[in-house]
Chains A and B, each alone.
Chain A
Amino acid sequence: MRFVGSFLFPESASNLAPNVDHIYLALLALSTAITILVLVVALFFCIRYRRGSKADRTPPKGTPMRIEITWTLIPLLIFLGLFFWAAEEFFAMSRPPADATEIYVVGKQWMWKIQHPDGRREINELHIPVGRPVKLVMTSEDVIHDFFVPDFRTKQDVVPGRYTTEWFTPTKPGKYHIFCSQYCGTDHSRMVGWVYVMEPAEHARWLQRQPAPDSLVAQGERAFHSRGCSGCHVQSSAIHAPLLDGIFGKPVPLKDGSLVIADEQYLRDSILLPNKQIAAGYEPLMPTFQGQISEEELNAIIAYLKSLGDQPRQEGER
């Protein structure tokens, strides 16, 4: 049985996998039942009413209305049930827990670049401890990619110009495929990698073997100064620019009267496309950094901005 299982199912290695597998099995059972029903009935009719067989062929009386309504409503109700079940699970898949470790992922033709909060970087490999929720904040440098880990049963497109997220809690130590599953050009099929899920102790040993760079926040702080952001975005500046302490996650009033939540997308757009949304009470003076700043540096700056001020979510990042 285990052998058959490993032939039909990928490893179940995240908190999401059992739930997805349950819905899948339910669908499989339903589909098999319907297929067998249709095939058996069709086969029975084909044999019983084959040409020349001795069977009663008096045309059935009455309208088939009742039958039609029955076989319209029953599938509809079953499908609705399935919809709600799967939608609920999908909703959970889209809502990362607050204490998840935030790891930045940048896709480019044809590799995955990964930035951990402690500043470590990896290419095409992701080392994480078992049992800790992980939230990937992903963007692309060029075309659309997709970060797919079959053993975790999750994937998400990685879209240039915006951040997408994906989360999971690995439940089983091991080595799992990363596939790019959105076609992205010549070496699409070589844009693959591995997730290494490790026991916490083993993960700690792995961490020690790596050179310890500055944390992502520290890297971001450095960039914040070297890129000249701190020239304007401080209290003492002669230029009237918004202060950024504690801005992340807060509503920002805009010049045109609307409100936006200062999420990753807003911070990104403000750096790359500063005139897209202008904060109320400020002049559009900020220069654009489009084309001058790499996605990784941008991620570091955003991580730094998120760390500023009264943030509830700190412990996972330092």
Chain B
Amino acid sequence: MPDVLAVPIEHQFDDATQQREAATMGMWLFIATEILLFGGMFLGYTAYRHAYPSAFAEASRHTLIAFGGTNTAVLLISSTVMAFAVRAASQNRRKLLGLLLFVTASLGVLFLVIKGLEYAHEINEHLLPGRAFHIDAADPQHAELFFYIYWLMTGVHALHVTIGVVLITFFAFRAWFRDAFRNHDTPIELLGLYWHFVDIVWVFLFPLIYMIDRHS
């Protein structure tokens, strides 16, 4: 395929500006729906943490803060790399763009691996809610509730990370081999928005899950 110099404009749009603005607005609206999706879970978390503060504090001490902390760092770094990738796209530096996207995706994979190890550990410790659940706590029932919310929220978040990794890898290949984003960096910008959103959700999740009442 030859180099694409002009932005392809879909038939319903008048010009590139309109197309870009529409796409950007669409992404922001999508993020708004995502915030409300997570908002429902955050509300559940808040309600139960308020109702059972000591059970939540105790359960939180069973989480692996070292893993969670490392993962926070990994996601923050990947977000930074993503920001540079967006810059590379706007400067039409296709190889650099491909490379940076690849690094971002790798960091996403690293996050998932660490999260997976953490999950494996928790399953071994019987911290997966269900029949096998067991925890040494004063109020095991509500500690289980904490872990239920924990699995649900981190699980939905990990799903978002996975989708992000797949998309970023796909875009990295397209940038590297097809030079698909020459003079057309809107998709990369929007991908960046999504990835930052995923990162920010984790930034909220981390203290809520790992750091209740942990003073050490």
Contact = CB atoms under 8 A, between A and B. Distances in A.
Contacts of A276: 52, 55, 139, 142
Nearest to B51: A276
A256 B53 contact: yes
Of B52, B53, B139, B141, most A-chain CB atoms within 10 Å: B139
Main secondary structure of the interface of A (DSSP, over half): loop
Contacts of B141: 273
Interface in B121-143: 138-139, 141-142
Contacts of A273: 139, 141
B54 interface: yes
Contacts of B55: 275-276
B38 to A, nearest CB: 27
A284 interface: yes
A250 B12 CA distance: 70
B135 to A, nearest CB: 12
B52 to A, nearest CB: 6
Contacts of A284: 138
| Chain B contact residues, majority secondary structure | helix
Interface in A271-318: 273, 275-276, 278, 284
Indicate the size class of the contact surface on chain A: under 10
Interface in A249-273: 255-256, 273
A265 to B, nearest CB: 12
A275 B139 contact: yes
B47 to A, nearest CB: 14
Interface residues of B, number: 8
A256 B54 contact: yes
Nearest to B52: A276
A174 to B, nearest CB: 43
Interface in B119-170: 138-139, 141-142
A82 B45 CA distance: 37
A275 B138 contact: yes
A172 to B, nearest CB: 42
Interface string A2-26: 0000000000000000000000000
B178 to A, nearest CB: 57
A284 B139 CA distance: 9
Contacts of B142: 276
Interface in B43-71: 52-55
Contacts of B139: 273, 275-276
Contacts of B54: 255-256, 275, 278
A276 B55 CA distance: 8
A275 B139 CA distance: 5
A276 B142 CA distance: 8
A276 B52 CA distance: 7
Nearest to A277: B54
A278 B53 CA distance: 12
Interface string B186-208: 00000000000000000000000
A48 B150 CA distance: 67
A186 to B, nearest CB: 28
A255 B138 CA distance: 13
16 contacts: A255-B54, A256-B53, A256-B54, A273-B139, A273-B141, A275-B54, A275-B55, A275-B138, A275-B139, A276-B52, A276-B55, A276-B139, A276-B142, A278-B54, A278-B138, A284-B138
Across the A-B interface, give the 3 residue pairs with the lowest CB-CB distance, nearest first. Answer: A275-B139, A275-B138, A284-B138
